[in-house]
Amino acid sequence: MVVCMKLLSVIVPCYNEEENVSDFYDELFKNTSFFQEKELEVELIYVDDGSCDNTVLEVKKLRERDKRVRLLSFSRNFGKEAAIYAGFQKSKGDYIVLMDADLQDPPSLLPEMYGYIEQGYDSVATRRVTRKGEPPIRSFFARIFYRLMNRISKTEIVDGARDYRLMTRRVVDAILAMSEYNRFTKGIFGWVGYETKWLEYENIERRKGETKFSFWKLFAYSIEGITAFSTVPLTIAAVMGAAFCLVAFVLIVVTVVRTLIFGDPTSGWPSLVCIILLVSGVQLFCLGIVGQYLSKTYMEVKKRPIYLIKEEL
């Protein structure tokens, strides 16, 4: 009898994760019976996103012992989104799972996730239902972001969704077909569609090391998300402009009529200054919105590569 093994690609973006590389390996392969039972071969792809610590060395050590471990190393830090894209491109698996190196995405969920794939789902996604261990200010802004995002975008972006996701080949091929430079993967997952099963779990804190996302990095990321998946801010700018024109028109009529009836006593100087400040503020704000879209378009038309590989094993 010929046993037809399926290949599972595990993709792990790593940026300065030297302490977590081998812990992740141990944790993933702890439950070998699951892989055997389901006749799954595994390739574990660590994508080193330009780490300046010993991440690459740690991965190489693992590879010496176990050839299932693969390494992709970038020429510099290109960001997690680029690492995800590279991992997907280089993966050969029939099934692909994306996981963080810090073990916030528990490998113990894999059997359950795979069960749903067997049932016919194309994608099994996870979301955390708590934000335990996170700074409250970060949770607060995250919640506002998701609420806003779902108002202004047709693409569903789930609050608390993690990037931890098990997908079939065709989902990953669909994601790869979206070769945009400004990548907001949370939105891309929603955009490609396919039947998705959501699993929920309580937030797990990072095993070792520090988070690689500062508040400002997350803020920039949220702007990325908005410009990539909604053009509503542009409409708001246009509507605001129209509203101000209307108000100005009414005021002109009122002023002319009043002058004709009551003459022209000089008054209203402070209020005039306030109005000029307000209107020029709104103009700059709208210009800024347009600028955001323009800058994203600018980066997009350059068609620069999303990542550059320094070493591949």
Can you give the binding site for ligand UDP, defined by CB under 6 A?
Answer: 13-15, 17, 49, 77, 79-80, 83, 100-102, 104, 206, 211-213
Residue 8: alpha-carbon gap to chain centroid: 23
Our CA dihedral for 29, 31, 32, 35, rounded to 10 degrees, sits at -100
- We find the least distance from the C-beta atom of residue 168 to ligand UDP, in angstroms, to be 23
- We find the least distance from the C-beta atom of residue 136 to Mg ion, in angstroms, to be 17
Binding-site partner at residue 298 among Mg ion, ligand UDP, none, CB < 5 to 8 Å by type:
none
Binding-site partner at residue 83 among Mg ion, ligand UDP, none, CB < 5 to 8 Å by type:
ligand UDP
Q: Which is nearer to ligand UDP, 18 or 43 (CB)?
A: 18
- We find the least distance from the C-beta atom of residue 55 to ligand UDP, in angstroms, to be 8
Identify which of 233, 107, 123 has the alpha carbon closest to the alpha carbon of residue 188. 123
Binding-site partner at residue 101 among Mg ion, ligand UDP, none, CB < 5 to 8 Å by type:
ligand UDP
Find the binding residues for Mg ion in span 277-306 (CB under 5 A). Answer: none
- We find the least distance from the C-beta atom of residue 19 to Mg ion, in angstroms, to be 13
- We find the least distance from the C-beta atom of residue 49 to ligand UDP, in angstroms, to be 4
**Can residue 49 be called a binding residue for Mg ion (CB under 5 A)?**
no
Site string (194-223) toward Mg ion, x via CB under 5 A: ------------x-----------------
Segment near Mg ion (CB under 5 A), from 47-55, 95-103, 140-148, 156-164?
A: 95-103
- Integer Cα distance of 13 and 78 in angstroms: 11
**Can residue 20 be called a binding residue for Mg ion (CB under 5 A)?**
no
**Can residue 104 be called a binding residue for Mg ion (CB under 5 A)?**
yes
Q: Which is nearer to Mg ion, 63 or 206 (CB)?
A: 206
Q: Which helix (H) or strand (E) holds 137?
A: helix 136-152
* Residue keyed to tokens 């590879």: 63
**Can residue 43 be called a binding residue for Mg ion (CB under 5 A)?**
no
Burial class (CB in 10 A: 0-12, 13-18, 19+), 67: exposed
- We find the least distance from the C-beta atom of residue 242 to ligand UDP, in angstroms, to be 40
Report the side by side order of strands in the sheet with 6-14. Answer: 196-201, 123-128, 161-168, 95-98, 6-14, 40-48, 69-74, 309-312
**Which CA distances in Å does 200 have to 70, 112, 204?**
29, 12, 12
Residue 206: alpha-carbon gap to chain centroid: 18
Positive or negative, the CA dihedral 149, 153, 158, 162 is negative
Identify which of 82, 112, 80 has the alpha carbon closest to the alpha carbon of residue 99. 80
The binding site for Mg ion (CB under 5 A) comprises: 100, 102, 104, 206
